[in-house]
Amino acid sequence: MSTSIAHRASAPGSILAVGGAEDKVKKRGILQRFVKEAGGKRGRIAILPTASSIPDERAAFYKEVFAGLGVEDTVHVPIVTRRDAQLNANAEALLGCTGVFLTGGDQQRLVTVLSETKAFEAIRAGLVAGGVVAGTSAGASAFSSTMIIGGHQGLNTRRDAVKLGEGLGIITRLIIDQHFSQRDRLGRLLTAIAQEPARLGVGIDEDTAIVYFGNGQIEVIGTGQVFIVDGARAAAKGLEGSPRTKQFTLSGVVLHVLTEGDRFNVVSREMLLPGEEPDDVKVE
């Protein structure tokens, strides 16, 4: 029934970073899109609940959700420890799927368990082979190379507004944040970008996602908004040397507030106008 990614064309795959709380019972636009990218109802979806503190329940829950979308061929890949992530059986299960879904939970747990393991290499191989990887909430944050672990709410920029750590590095150019406007997280994303201006900050609302393609193009889907923070030309003042609790100046950030259907090129750092096709730039 299913087509494993190893058998698909070698076009680079897509990554869905979901801002959490995606609709699972009504229109389910984001999950529908994930299923479509994974080959539709005939796809095989791996559910990876590693970030969750209740992984078995979480996997069972998403199994039902995907069944509701017509995908019967789902595999719970039971990776909870690094030992699990090094098991050939689990890596092979991931390789045999057309889509991988990383649940929410704790992004640090996810990265600690998964980074530089056989399971992780299987996910990467799947992407190269044209598969799709989706992560929601903590799963989305973990795609970053510099990852947001936690922080304060609000608009203000202060060094202690964000706690950064090492992520999986699946999308190195972006620092991804989630539950974005719902949890009022612009200040912490600005603070992250002030420290790493070469990366783009991407804040994703609940029930909203970016679809990230191999050519560096982002597409926005879902009912909320995506906030892109570009600090390449910004000047920070008071970031270094002052107490971590002190607000600092950040001047000249470029902000893009995007809605469903918008496309953005992370290489040129510009929104694409309707009809405009991005250059076929390979960014990762």
Find the binder of a copy of itself among 90, 98, 225, 265 (CB under 8 A).
Answer: 225
99 binds a copy of itself (CB under 8 A): no
Q: Which amino acid is at 148?
A: I
* Alpha carbon distance, N-terminus to C-terminus of the chain: 32
Q: Please check whether residue 128 is in contact with residue 13, taking contact to mean a CB–CB distance below 8 angstroms.
A: yes
Find the binder of a copy of itself among 83, 249, 279, 280 (CB under 8 A).
Answer: 249
DSSP 224: S
Provide, rounded to whole angstroms, the least separation between the CB of residue 105 and a copy of itself: 24
206 carries an active-site annotation: yes
Interacting residues of 37 by C-beta distance below 8 A, sequence separation 6+: 13, 14, 16, 99, 132, 211
232 binds a copy of itself (CB under 8 A): no
Provide, rounded to whole angstroms, the least separation between the CB of residue 160 and a copy of itself: 15
Q: Is 154 exposed, middle or buried (0-12, 13-18, 19+ CB in 10 A)?
A: middle
179 carries an active-site annotation: yes
87 binds a copy of itself (CB under 8 A): no
197 binds a copy of itself (CB under 8 A): no
Sign of CA dihedral 208, 182, 149, 256: positive
152 carries an active-site annotation: no
Could you give the CA distance from residue 279 to residue 206 in angstroms, rounded to a whole number?
Answer: 30
User: H/E/C letters for each residue in 124-159?
Assistant: HHHHHCCCEEEEECHHHHCCECEEEEEECCCCCCEH
Contact map string, positions 43 to 72, toward a copy of itself, x by CB under 8 A? ------------------------------
Stretch touching a copy of itself by CB under 8 A, among 30-38, 79-87, 130-138, 152-160: 152-160
32 binds a copy of itself (CB under 8 A): no
Contact residues: a copy of itself, CB under 8 A: 154-157, 180-181, 184, 186-187, 190, 205, 224-225, 227, 235, 237-238, 247-259, 262, 270-271
